[in-house]
Structure 1
Amino acid sequence: MKTVGDVVSWWITRIENDGTRSQKYRDSMVCLMRKHVLPRVGKLPLKKVDRVSLDDKLIFPMHQVLAPRSVQKALQGLRQAFGMAEGQGRIQDNPLKGTTFRDFYKGKLRPKPARLSRVDLAGLVRQLVDLFKDDPTKAMLPLMMLAHGTRIAETLKARWSHVSLDERVWVIPEANTKSRREHVLPLTPQVLALLDKYRQALPDPRLKAAWVFSVRGGNCMADTSAHALFREVSGRQWSSHDLRKLMRSSLADIGVDHMVGELLINHTLGVTTETYLTRDMMERRREALERWHARLDELGFAEAHGSKVAVPALLSNDAKPEATGLCA
């Protein structure tokens, strides 16, 4: 390997078939490398790679057209490529060893601001409930994501076999999660009733599909179709990730413990913290979701699922949900 392009092109062939990384990560990283990195520094000889050449030829020009986090991601990919090449003995020296994004950028990397806040919750629930009444197949995906705070890729890969009515849980296999660990979400009476209504609304071909969110022909809904659905439903005002952020921020408002909230949205808490988690964490997750769905019921969610669940928004530790009708 003599040029940066040799290293990057070789690395791309490795990550394109790396099943340990999500498809979304692979697609975005490959696109970033081919569209921005290779055209700018692909022909740069390895012996001329240093902080000055990177800043002049790659980092500074990318800052003119991309957000800082995208530039950071490109540098991370470049560092991974050189690190892997050095580890396998394909290059003798790694010119990027010890290089960080802070060497080139001193500003604050702020998270992307949420486009939905707590004050939008009531109107959002009303909008999604009205849509569910009109077209359950269109409203079910955003409702499930608002109810559980799941990522869009995780939600789309849900199969009916992942839903256990006996155990009242939705299991997301580790292969489908960003954290690469199994994620188990308790199903409340509201969601069980919502799933029942949704199934009744599905046309026969889709009812026989293995996927919860299928399209005509029985295949799983694609990411592009799902994002197009959210653009249509929201009028381009918010995204699927905004639902996840809104759910997480709302949990604190109803008294859900920070650690329980992080577990519900499948954030990694760190090895030390997770080592000392108690065995009753599933019950605490269930109680948190019961609180959250009770809050949604107060805003009209009950009109969508149709079940009668007597659960206050702020449960005491010994309170239990009382379900009546079909969901019981």
Structure 2
Amino acid sequence: MKLNDPIIKAAKPKDKPYKLSDGDGLVLLINPNGSKWWRYRYRFNGKEKMLSIGTYPEVTLKKARDSRVTASDLLTQGIDPSENRKEQKQQEAIAAENSFESVARQWWNHWKHGRTERHAGYTIRRLEADVFPGIGNKPINEITAATLLTVIKKIEARGALDIAKRALTMCGQVFRYAVAHGLAERNPAADIKPSDVLKSTKKTNYASLNEKELPELLRRIDAYDGQPLTKLALQLMAYTFVRTGELIGARWQEIDLDKKEWRIPAERMKMKTPHIVPLSLQAITVLEEIKALSTDETLLFPSERRDGKTMSNNTILYAIYRMGYHSRMTGHGFRSIASTILHEQGYNHEHIELQLAHSKRDAVSAAYNHALYLEPRARMMQDWADYLEAIKTGATILQFNAIGSS
């Protein structure tokens, strides 16, 4: 008699195990503890053997029958179903050991020697965030150029072009390591030239210092002996990394010290969408100093002529020149430095891009996106200000606390 679900569900445990037969070698073993195991009994080379198929109801009656048919087909080909399963498990284990993630971590442990802890940490975090979710569990020798390209294009689609290029480079290094150690036959990344598959961007090269030069710049800003309002503008720019035009055009009505927010309207933004700058404690202190100067009721940075106009772009630039950074630094350079350091410290790329107001958005999405992730962005901005304060005084910074913004 063939089994059905009512019969199976009605089968109660007894003192000893017993079987219900479905025919053709398929049986259901009922154990005293109530568990119900599917078994397929067969003969191979004259010996009686048994294949475990799984438990009911996880393995349904239909699935158990399908498994019996598959095993029976193997027998007709002269293949022992039990040995075939062992071989499959061995292959899966080998594939798991040679998965892209496994090999990438082997490469990273080999590669990281001689690199700084921060550089090495940034590299593995980028792989974990952008590459492993797509191809991490795939056997490295089965990954094609097309498969790899899908992962890289997904990174590009969110606007992270530089990270997409770096990811492709890192994957190429992993594959080269795999080839050198006999774990892969070839490097599919070698078939992909970034300029052939990734969008090119029109890039304006703004002069910018590197991280090692930043502490001295911050100290020179604090010691700046020009107009007090110019020094405060430079300090606020460092803490907020807004564009120069957005800084000098700031209005007091945009500032909410209670909410610790600076809300810049769309008409003043390069991308013509509103922007929110979470204010750190240090930025608020600077704003209070600006307020104390009482230079203008409307503008934070009015022109020295008091003609209703704002401070000039060149005021910021020439102040930087006066401090000894001609052709080495611009107002925009603060944005480049912040982006580089925050990315290297592992902060969420989307949070950084939103804070830089880089994303091009349509009018509908702009109404929502400018306020996305405000809490982690606020934590990131406070971390950034704390970092600037620390390096300015010569403190050694081992790692940001980027967990809250990831």
Question: Is the CA contact 2:273–2:370 (under 8 Å) kept in the aligned structure 1?
Answer: no
Cα displacement string for residues 233-278 of structure 1 (whole angstroms, at most 9, x for unaligned residues): 4441321112221121121133311111111110015569989969
**1:222 matched to 2:312:** yes
**1:248 matched to 2:339:** yes
Corresponding residue for 2:298? 210
Question: Is the CA contact 1:183–1:266 (under 8 Å) kept in the aligned structure 2?
Answer: yes
Corresponding residue for 1:185? 277
Runs (5+) with no aligned partner, structure 1: 1-106, 303-311, 319-328
Aligned partner of 1:116: which letter? L
CA distance in 2, matches of 1:115, 1:135: 23
| % identical equivalent positions | 20
1:195 to 249, 263, 287: 287
Aligned residue pairs total 199
**1:293 matched to 2:389:** no
Closer/same/farther in 2, CA of residues 136 and 250 from structure 1, 3 Å limit = farther
**1:142 matched to 2:259:** no
1:126 to 219, 228, 238: 219
Measured after TM superposition, the shift of residue 161 of structure 1 is: 1.4
1:112 to 205, 228, 244: 205
**1:238 matched to 2:326:** no
SS of the counterpart of 2:262? strand
Aligned partner of 1:284: which letter? P
Corresponding residue for 2:353? 262
CA RMSD of aligned residues (A): 3.5
Question: Is the CA contact 1:156–1:213 (under 8 Å) kept in the aligned structure 2?
Answer: yes
- Structure 1 or 2, whichever has the larger Rg, is 2
Structure with the largest fraction of strand? 2
CA distance in 1, matches of 2:402, 2:287: 24
Measured after TM superposition, the shift of residue 110 of structure 1 is: 6.2
Aligned partner of 1:231: which letter? Y
CA distance in 2, matches of 1:108, 1:292: 28
2:401 to 282, 306, 314: 314
Question: Is the CA contact 2:260–2:278 (under 8 Å) kept in the aligned structure 1?
Answer: yes
Question: Is the CA contact 2:271–2:360 (under 8 Å) kept in the aligned structure 1?
Answer: no
Question: Is the CA contact 2:274–2:367 (under 8 Å) kept in the aligned structure 1?
Answer: no
Question: Is the CA contact 2:263–2:277 (under 8 Å) kept in the aligned structure 1?
Answer: yes
SS of the counterpart of 2:300? coil
Question: Is the CA contact 1:186–1:282 (under 8 Å) kept in the aligned structure 2?
Answer: yes
Could you tell me the TM-score, scaled by structure 2's length? 0.43
1:166 to 248, 258, 262: 258
Matches within 5 A, 1:11-30: none
Question: Is the CA contact 2:260–2:280 (under 8 Å) kept in the aligned structure 1?
Answer: yes
**1:151 matched to 2:243:** yes
Question: Is the CA contact 2:210–2:337 (under 8 Å) kept in the aligned structure 1?
Answer: yes
Question: Is the CA contact 2:211–2:341 (under 8 Å) kept in the aligned structure 1?
Answer: yes
Could you tell me the TM-score, scaled by structure 1's length? 0.52
